[in-house]
Amino acid sequence: MIFTETKIKEAFIVDLELHQDIRGFFTRTFCVQEFQNRGLKPTIAQCNLSFNYKKGTLRGMHYQMPPSQETKLVRCIRGAIYDVIIDLRPDSPSYLSHIGIELTAENRLALYIPDKCAHGFQTLTDETEVAYQMGDLYAPEYATGYRYDDPAFGIEWPLPVTEISEKDRAWSLFESTKIVTPTVT
């Protein structure tokens, strides 16, 4: 496995090391030891599959609050997506930064998403499937998110949004949910 750092602290693009012969290739898509060697959380508590009918479908920007924070390893296994993460960790040097990368069935890349980062994607083709390895169980009582079009993050999605859930459309804006600490004068 080949890990490439991104500008988001502890977020990595994970590429495959193919071992090829006349039959095709073999590769590892996950290895506990390789994740541990980089200080990443190698726990897999749940695996999910998302199927999306239409190009332009948007899912996100989701994350879970403590104590049920999730790491994610996301890979597009059919079609193509534009995958985005936002760093929501106030102590991180990349706080409020975001990255977007194209994950496709052809490039076989994956994106490792640290906990306390919001995640979402937009489909670039019809009939897209996305596989997730989750570091914690889904806990609806801790699930939350921000709007995909929040000006605080300035995400430029590659396509007009064709489909989005009402829940994802209704997430709050970041500015309206920030906790403001009073200043002492």
Do 150 and 58 touch, CB atoms closer than 8 A? no
Per the structure block, which two tokens stand in for 183? 């200043």
Catalytic: 95? Answer: no
Cα separation, 61 vs 99, whole angstroms: 13
Cα 68 from Cα 70, distance rounded (Å):
7
Contact predicate 46/11, CB 8 Å: no
Please report the domains of the chain, with CATH numbers, ordered by start residue: 2-177 (2.60.120.10)
Please give the full DSSP string across 32-81, using - where no structure is assigned.
HHHHHHTT------EEEEEEE-STTBEEEEEEE-TTS---EEEEEEESEE
* Dist CA 163 CA 100 (whole Å): 19
- Summarised one tens digit per residue, pLDDT across range 82-101 is 999 999 999 999 999 999 99
30/185: higher pLDDT = 30
Which member of 63, 112, 132, 146 is catalytic?
A: 132
pLDDT, tens only, 107-161: 999 999 999 999 999 999 999 999 999 999 999 999 999 999 999 999 999 999 9
> Model confidence at 178, in pLDDT bands (50, 70, 90)?
low
Give tens-digit pLDDT for 50-68: 999 999 999 999 999 999 9
Of the residues 62, 98, 112, 119, only one is catalytic, namely: 62
Active site residue 132: yes
3-state secondary structure of 167: helix
Res 177: pLDDT: 76
Of 113, 138, 129, the C-alpha closest to 81 is 129
